[in-house]
Amino acid sequence: MNNIQGPAIFLAQFMGTEPPFNNLQNICQWAASLGYKGIQLPSNDKRFFDLDKAADSQAYCDDIRGMVEQQGLQITELSTHLQGQLVAVHPAYDKMFDGFAPAELRGKPQARTEWAIQQLKAAAKASAHLELKAHASFSGALLWPTVYPWPQRPAGLVEEGFEELAQRWLPILDAFEQADVDLCYELHPGEDLHDGASFDRFLEAVDHHPRANILYDPSHFVLQQLDYLAFIDIYHSRIKAFHVKDAEFNPNGRSGVYGGYQPWLERPGRFRSLGDGEIDFKAIFSKLTQYGFKGWAVLEWECCIKHPEDGAREGAEFIQSHLIRPTDKAFDDFAAVDTDKRLNQSLLGLLEKNN
């Protein structure tokens, strides 16, 4: 068994224009002051991290890492969630996702896709320069508008969708293989990879590529009513990153999983700050420790009720309290007896037989 590392914090929901959230050094000082030991670093805002420069310059990456380490922190993973989303976009979402792309690419879906693919390849190089072993992203989606099977899907539609998704991601996965970094898809509604079944389809389409892995976030499974503990039993060998995010599901007589177009505060399924939801994190940390997960436990804050700074402060303590130091002893070692082949044979009734 391995130690899960932590606590760490995903910076995406905290970056802003006001101190201490306005640049990487300030936000690192803030995170360290709360007790965090790592940061998961988004790569879409050059005020904090220039992905293109990081892909080309080892010196730039050394400077970034040195500055982070001066604050007593480590970079746990880079994130390309927004760029990964743009690797595959259904036309129905073109305008809504255009805001994730540079201004000059908006309204140009093909150019936007090519840019996103290059961004992911750059992230592989940057991760290698930073000596990281995992990377966090989204898969994008071509099939999401058909997630509910009405109208009936034409035969072969799903297979063709995953074939195309695989063609777009295979060169990226190969780039991560060359960089010796695991690409971890956050399984998330709105993505074609949103649960175990869809991940299995993708895994088959990319011929079980060794770098196609999972960012485990149980909150998205609660909102889908998926067994998030059994998921670990099934997919633990592919879980290479971990978002610690809480959630709750309170169905009622008016709405359930789909949420009735209601805002987050009024939906039955909603994200909460750590400890305020219903997720059994003791069981999650136990299972991940049991299966030898050695990555980082990274807070992602998305609560619709509690202030983010309060969620961040409480989250560091929450994660720290759930980290498990694996035992190097068995509880019944006190009753152990020395290895004795003749004794064992005697207990099995084999000595008499052999004589």
Q: Does domain 5-354 have CATH number 3.60.15.10?
A: no
- Reported as a pLDDT band with limits 50, 70 and 90, residue 339 is confident
d(CA 34, CA 236): 30
Q: What's the average model confidence in pLDDT over 145-154?
A: 97
59 Cβ contact list (under 8 Å, min separation 6): none
- Reported as a pLDDT band with limits 50, 70 and 90, residue 41 is very high
112 Cβ contact list (under 8 Å, min separation 6): 86, 89, 98, 101, 105, 106
Q: What is the pLDDT of residue 135?
A: 99
Q: What is the pLDDT of residue 92?
A: 97
Structure tokens at 160: 């063709």
- Tens-place pLDDT, residues 303-315: 999 999 999 999 9
Residue 346 has pLDDT above 90, yes or no: no
- Determine what percent of the chain is predicted with pLDDT higher than 90: 91
239-244 and 212-216 strand pairing: parallel
**Beta-bridge partner residues of 298:** 8, 243
**Beta-bridge partner residues of 135:** 78, 183
- Tens-place pLDDT, residues 175-233: 999 999 999 999 999 999 999 999 999 999 999 999 999 999 999 999 999 999 999 99
Residue 134 has pLDDT above 70, yes or no: yes
Q: What is the pLDDT of residue 347?
A: 86
- Reported as a pLDDT band with limits 50, 70 and 90, residue 354 is low
- Tens-place pLDDT, residues 244-292: 999 999 999 999 999 999 999 999 999 999 999 999 999 999 999 999 9
Residue 2 has pLDDT above 90, yes or no: no
Q: What is the pLDDT of residue 355?
A: 58
Q: What is the pLDDT of residue 352?
A: 67
Q: What is the mean pLDDT of the chain?
A: 96
Predicted TM-score (pTM) of the model is 0.95
CB 183 within 8 A of CB 176: yes
Q: How crowded is residue 147: how many other Cβ atoms within 10 Å of its Cβ?
A: 12
Residue 113 has pLDDT above 70, yes or no: yes
Q: What's the average model confidence in pLDDT over 148-173?
A: 98
